[in-house]
Amino acid sequence: MLEPGCGSGRYLEAFARHGLEVVGIDSSAVMVELARRRLATSSLPGEVVLDDMTDFDLGRSFDGAVCAIGTIQHLGCEKLGRHLSCMARHLAEDAGYMIQLALYDPSGRQDVPSSSWEESRGDLSLRIDWTTEEVDLAAGRALQRSRIEIVAGPRQGHVVVEDHEMTAWTPETWGAAIAASPFTIGGVFDGAEEPPVALGEHATGGLIWYGLRREAPGY
């Protein structure tokens, strides 16, 4: 299982616990170190590579891949194309690639994606708010903002705010980008339900899973 944009490796850990052989890629050295440490701490096998998900060559192929929680929005149209070409070269013939992202409603009627949650570890508690501040669908851009507040523990009250320039995909632009790639959309699922609910390709709103299939072997 290959995970591009694996971050601190929480999915790698979960998959490895289920007995899968996992490889993660991330372009952040800090994240790669965290992911490696996470696997090592749990004595789980797996590899984490410091690399760019739009341009990598691992010299091997995988039976499946996953890219979670809107990580793909870090890539613009051209970089997405390069990423999907790379992925096609790294996936076995019948392998699937699951991508989770939130599409924007082109009518502007639906709420833009945002979420808030809390995390605790030891005596440290954080509150995280992830909001969409501006959307320009014509330009395909969204300005997202993360606000992390330390609500308990050392440095209580400290707040870190960061802005993230992301790509705003609509069902139309996302569908066109996949159609121009070596993949087709095999299924669209709501990840919140068990078993997942099958959605139409034009679903918008919260995070949903796109199951991509390689269009033709050896693309």
Interaction site with ligand SAM (CB under 6 A): 5-8, 10-11, 25-28, 31, 52-54, 68-69, 71, 74
Residue of this chain nearest to ligand SAM (CB atom) = 7
Beta sheet of 62-67, edge-to-edge order: 47-50, 23-26, 2-4, 62-67, 91-101, 208-214, 183-190, 197-198
Q: Measured from the CB of residue 111, what is the shortest distance to ligand SAM in angstroms?
A: 20
Minimum CB distance to ligand SAM smaller for 25 or for 95 = 25
Q: How far is the CB of 47 from ligand SAM (least distance, A)?
A: 15
DSSP annotation of 73: G
Of 10 and 127, nearer to ligand SAM (C-beta) is: 10
Q: Which is nearer to ligand SAM, 54 or 204 (CB)?
A: 54
We find the least distance from the C-beta atom of residue 107 to ligand SAM, in angstroms, to be 27
CB of 17 to ligand SAM, least distance (A): 15
Write down the residue that tokens 């690399």 correspond to: 51
DSSP H or E stretch at residue 72: none
As a whole number of angstroms, the distance between CA 27 and CA 185 comes to 26
Residue 122 burial class via C-beta count within 10 angstroms: exposed 0-12, middle 13-18, buried 19 and up = exposed
Cβ proximity to ligand SAM: between 109 and 117 the closer is 117
Q: Which residue's CB is nearer to ligand SAM, number 42 or number 156?
A: 42
CA–CA separation, 87 vs 91, rounded Å? 6
Distance separating alpha carbons of residues 184 and 136, to the nearest angstrom: 26
| Spatial distance between the Cα atoms of 100 and 208, rounded to a whole number of angstroms | 5
Let me know if 99 is exposed, middle or buried by CB neighbors in 10 A (0-12, 13-18, 19+): buried
- Shortest Å, Cβ 143 to ligand SAM: 16
Give min distance, CB of 190 to ligand SAM, in A: 18
Looking at beta carbons only, is 82 or 202 nearer to ligand SAM?
Answer: 82
DSSP-derived secondary structure letter, 71: G
